Structure 1
Amino acid sequence: MASKRIIRMSDLLHTTPVFNRGYRFQWEQAQQSYVILYPEGLVRLNESATLILKQIDGKLTVHDIIQNLSAQFPDATGLDQDIVEFLKQAESRQWICLQ
């Protein structure tokens, strides 16, 4: 059984998300949406997931991503928690790694 990595929120904010090898984020014309491509298939992404994943460049930290999206959507409440939860899910699905 794989152990689940537990990261404190304060530590998580300083991690830098990167896409794992074999997973690619791109626009898919046939799907008319952004997708995560991987050897076994693809995942069609909703608008929220797309906005978060577009921020992943291997340089921005989770904190930076939260700041960028909070500036884009100043009236959104709970955005920081939503972003963190999404990134945790993306990591658990092995789309990304939090370094």
Structure 2
Amino acid sequence: MTVAEDSRVRLAPGVMLRHDRNRGAWMLMAPERVLTLDDTALAVLRACTGPDAPTIGGAIDALAAEYDAPRGEIATDVLELLADLRLKGYLAP
């Protein structure tokens, strides 16, 4: 599934972003599935989802500025991560 910079994404129905205090980790929880997130994936999801989230391109701009990283590298990583999460059913358009 293609994810473009001018699109927006949200968590798929039934998917929740939760912090597991016992494991000290953030997770995407879906029916009968759990995905543990690393710090990078968490930052991307926080930048790209939510009621006031910008387009993916806007989130990429913000992440590149926040981490003082080349936008092209950030864009490649963000688009790849979001496409993978969408393909696995954690994100919806």
TM range (shorter): 0.7 to 0.9
2:86 equivalent in structure 1: 91
Which runs of 5 or more residues in structure 2 are unaligned?
A: none
Q: CA RMSD in A?
A: 1.6
Query: Using the alignment, how far apart are the partners of 1:75 and 1:20 within structure 2?
Result: 29
Select 2:13's aligned residue among 18, 21, 35: 21
Q: Which has the higher helix share?
A: 2
Q: Is the 8 A contact 1:31 1:44 kept in 2?
A: no
- How far does the alpha carbon of each residue in 1:43-90 deviate from its partner, in whole angstroms, 9 at most, with x for none? 111111111011211432111110110111113561110000000001
Which runs of 5 or more residues in structure 1 are unaligned?
A: none
1:57 equivalent in structure 2: 50
TM value normalised by structure 1: 0.81
Give the length in aligned residue pairs: 90
TM value normalised by structure 2: 0.86
The answer as to 2:50 corresponding to 1:74 is no
> SS at 2:7's partner residue?
coil
